[in-house]
């Protein structure tokens, strides 16, 4: 378990806790930092990023602001930096898991330079969108 302080940790409500836990740990490469199975809860981490998943059951406390319908998280995605995005991408492909946005190399303007990402996007079982990327460095704008 990591002892580093994380400033922002999203908590994702999920319909099937075990299915989501399997997605995050077996496909997406997250590790369980700690869990409370009796509450359908787990704190997960990968490469310094953390997120919590909690089942939507009578056991869970929830601060819902409206009805939840799949896909959850509409209008946002989570960008997660990892050291070897290609291996993770191949892990999803081998499992025949649907890729939301295929692997690409993309350069983004940042002031007078460009920063590069090798990235792909997937949706978890509830529809939350995850953008996994590997840093390609900085280059001068053309």
Structure tokens at 92: 């999803």
Domain ranges within the chain, ordered by starting residue:
11-58+77-140
pTM above 0.85, yes or no: yes
Place of tokens 């978890």: 124
Task: Please determine, looking at this structure, whether the domain spanning 11-58+77-140 carries the CATH number 3.40.50.300.
Answer: no
Residue 105 contacts residue 134 (beta carbons within 8 Å):
no
Residue 72 contacts residue 128 (beta carbons within 8 Å):
yes
pLDDT by 10s per residue, the chain, length 142: 445 677 899 999 999 999 999 999 999 999 999 999 999 999 999 999 999 999 987 666 666 667 778 889 888 999 999 999 999 999 999 999 999 999 999 999 999 999 999 999 999 999 999 999 999 999 998 7
Q: What is the sign of the dihedral through the CA atoms of 62, 68, 72 and 76?
A: negative
CB atoms within 10 A of CB 99: 13
Residues 6+ positions from 130 with CB-CB distance below 8 Å: 28, 77, 78, 80, 121, 122, 123, 124
């Amino acid at each position: 378990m990591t002892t580093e302080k994380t400033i922002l940790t999203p908590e994702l409500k999920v319909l099937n806790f075990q299915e989501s836990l399997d997605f995050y740990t077996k496909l997406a490469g997250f590790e369980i930092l700690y869990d409370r199975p009796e509450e359908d809860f787990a704190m997960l981490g990968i490469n310094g990023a953390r997120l919590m998943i909690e089942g939507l059951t009578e056991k869970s406390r929830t601060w819902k602001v409206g009805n939840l319908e799949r896909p959850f998280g509409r209008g946002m995605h989570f960008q997660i930096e990892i050291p070897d995005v290609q291996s993770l991408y191949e892990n999803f492909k081998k499992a025949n898991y649907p890729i939301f946005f295929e692997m690409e190399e993309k350069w983004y303007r940042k002031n007078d330079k460009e920063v590069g990402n090798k990235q792909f996007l997937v949706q978890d079982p509830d529809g939350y969108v995850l953008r996994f990327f590997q840093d390609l460095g900085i280059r001068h704008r053309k």
